[in-house]
Amino acid sequence: MNATGLETLRGTNFKLPKQSEFYKGKVRDVYTIDEKYLVMVVTDRISAFDVVLPQAIPFKGQVLNQIAAYMLQATSDIVPNWIIDVPDANVSIGRRCEAFKVEMVIRAYLTGHAWREYKSGKRTLCGVKMADGLNENDPFPEPIITPTTKASQGHDMDISRNEIISQGIVAEDEYKLLEKYTREIFKRGTELASKQGLLLVDTKYEFGKDEKGVVLIDEIHTPDSSRYFYKDSYKELQEKKQPQKQLSKEFVRQWLIENNFQGQAGQEIPNMSEEWVHQISLRYIELYEKIIGKKFVPANNHNIESRIEKNILKALNSIN
């Protein structure tokens, strides 16, 4: 529990029926059940620059899980996804798939990592050329795909399409399909965001495959995986060369940068005050309400682990 009186979910350590594996990611605790299913518990941990920060953020896990569930359903006509059930505000259960070892990052605007690279003088990102004369947050003529490796630990690394194929990380025919799905899902996400007065700036998708083919996995269009600008203020702020009002985790990254932390060796993670943690929580809730278009309803956050375990066990009984 933090100073606001709210409990947070730092992590879980369940022993579930037919559990065969447990994986603790930066934000998610993932349980493999009977080699067939994955139980994904989305915690309130927050990461930036591939480092988990010391403080957890109230309701962050619920926000991520519920946005992802909504967006996976909204894109299920484009590509099948891994979800079977969402039995709890912080939990998704789905099919276990063989994950492709790349993350498909797609960018419609020059911002974040792409801007930092561009500002340093680079004009090629992941094999994709970028024109001279662009300003921060300018749109690209069309969205560009800038994949990264999928690291089990440490930092994901930029990689080009040609390197992925030539190194045999993904077969060429499958990679072309991943690109196709990436563009189609991003188009749908852009349309959904626009209806809510937002611009989908950039995001990343992860894919796997099962016996039926390619499957969309993990989360999509959440503030941890995506960046949004407000549509109504975009043009004016861009013309004035002022920072865009945005909904994403970038404001956390910028705070860390201002406090001399970018995840590099020897750098110390700055302390996050309770007020700052509360502000981050409010920003996550704001994004939920903006992108979903509904009022956020907080789950009961007393005895969170007990609530989650009970709902998981009930869902697994119905699946098996």
Contacts of 16 (CB under 8 A, 6+ apart): 31, 33, 39, 312, 313, 316
- Mean pLDDT, range 35-48, rounded to an integer: 95
Residue ending a domain, choose from 248, 267, 293:
248
Q: Domain check: are 227 and 122 in the same one?
A: yes
Q: What kind and span of H or E run contains 179?
A: helix 172-195
pLDDT confidence band for 151 (50 / 70 / 90): low
Q: Domain check: are 127 and 164 in the same one?
A: yes
Residue ending a domain, choose from 231, 248, 265:
248
Q: Domain check: are 75 and 42 in the same one?
A: yes
Dist. CA 310–CA 35, nearest whole Å = 21
Name which of 9-23, 153-167, 176-190 the model is least confident about: 153-167
Q: Domain check: are 117 and 213 in the same one?
A: yes
Dist. CA 57–CA 7, nearest whole Å = 9
- Mean pLDDT, range 258-286, rounded to an integer: 92
Domain that holds residue 149: 99-248
Angstrom distances, CA of residue 180 to CA of 27, 108, 221, 279:
28, 16, 17, 37
Residue ending a domain, choose from 248, 266, 299:
248
Q: Is the pLDDT of residue 153 over 80?
A: no
Which pLDDT score is estimated for 3? Answer: 43
In degrees to the nearest 10, what's the CA dihedral of 190, 156, 64, 87? 120
Dist. CA 34–CA 82, nearest whole Å = 16
Percentage of the chain with pLDDT > 70?
Answer: 97
Q: What is the pLDDT of residues 98-140, one digit of tens each?
A: 999 999 999 999 999 999 999 999 999 999 999 999 999 999 9
Q: Is the pLDDT of residue 245 over 90?
A: no
Task: Count the domains in the chain.
Answer: 2
Q: What kind and span of H or E run contains 65?
A: helix 60-74
* Residue 221 domain-assigned (yes or no): yes
DSSP classification of residue 132: T
